[in-house]
Structure 1
């Protein structure tokens, strides 16, 4: 019951540009962390996030962006098993230029992506208390939701097909990453 959240992916120098345009609810208010810096627990605030998965290895990247300028980047190996947290990110957010909306631009370095990304999902979260709202690009079908089940962004079986080559071009090859060599 609001304008949609849009996420665009584009080529960038050294990585993938993630552009967000979304309604600005300002609920909950800003996290206590410094804008431009990682903030653990950002998922408890207003965020837009994207996950990039290699479904064969179950390795994935989680990128969370907040309209107040904080971000959170996690590298996960196995469902919910983050082995690297709070990675730096070139991210800027703007809540002033277009009243009632926020925009964000982040360049996600190639080294953060697991090799062989073949699925993804994105989410938008805002609100407090009983007004907390969770939105998903590829939601869990209602018939698959178990009684009493809360939001779970790590239900990887509901992610859908995605290729970085769709953004970068068919001839593009993903650079290797030392970060993933240490993955458990």
Structure 2
């Protein structure tokens, strides 16, 4: 299952090749792959690759969110081309109760492109995921760019509105069974009891 991020958060077309996010079955979780332009702006966080980094959203990242729309429980995963990652578990809009979980993530930069591959354990997903969205962020200062797979429609923008990736009402239908098969049952999680 593959998605292209072709618009900014406010529904304008991106001015570069779209970021691609691909989901597939993995051993004990879902494999998430990123294929993206590499902007190197901002530069790498001051943290070693392969480790969680708080505040990673302030850097160049690709993010995916997986939501149970009935409970507003959701998983947010962020990936940086320099190899850092961030996992947040949230209950209620923007209310993170767990941050910095470990996972297997590797990224490689080749010229003006980067790719990354992560295994997201099933235990990180809330039960009954039914919506998702993905985002990409790069740039500094006035050049900061926020892109969304499912953006806010132009006619729903308000004056002085800023990007907010926790606008759950704009997430679209998504089921893990679409990746794993209709008979697949999500394992129970210690985090979501």
Task: Give TM class, smaller chain.
Answer: over 0.9
Structure 1 unmatched runs, 5+ = none
Which residue of structure 1 aligns with residue 11 of structure 2? none
Residue 98 of structure 2 is aligned to residue 94 of structure 1: no
Which residue of structure 1 aligns with residue 44 of structure 2? 30
Runs of 4+ residues over 3 Å off in structure 1: none
Q: CA deviation at 1:148?
A: 1.1
Residue 32 of structure 2 is aligned to residue 18 of structure 1: yes
Give the CA RMSD over aligned residues. Answer: 0.6
Which residue of structure 1 aligns with residue 155 of structure 2? 143
5 Å matches for 1:1-150? 1-95=15-109, 98-150=110-162
CA separation in 1, counterparts of 2:47 and 2:93? Answer: 27
Residue 189 of structure 2 is aligned to residue 173 of structure 1: no
CA separation in 1, counterparts of 2:22 and 2:141? Answer: 30
CA separation in 1, counterparts of 2:191 and 2:55? Answer: 22
Per-residue deviation, residues 128-152 of structure 1 (Å, max 9, x unmatched)? 1111111100001112121111110
TM-score, structure 2 normalization:
0.92
SS where residue 111 of structure 1 aligns?
helix
Per-residue deviation, residues 57-113 of structure 1 (Å, max 9, x unmatched)? 000000000000000000000000000000001000000xx3210000000000000
Structure 2 unmatched runs, 5+ = 1-14
Which residue of structure 1 aligns with residue 9 of structure 2? none
Which of 144, 160, 175 is the matching residue for 1:163?
Answer: 175
Q: How many residues align?
A: 179
SS where residue 107 of structure 1 aligns?
strand
**102-111 or 31-40, which moves further after superposition?**
31-40
CA separation in 1, counterparts of 2:51 and 2:68? Answer: 27
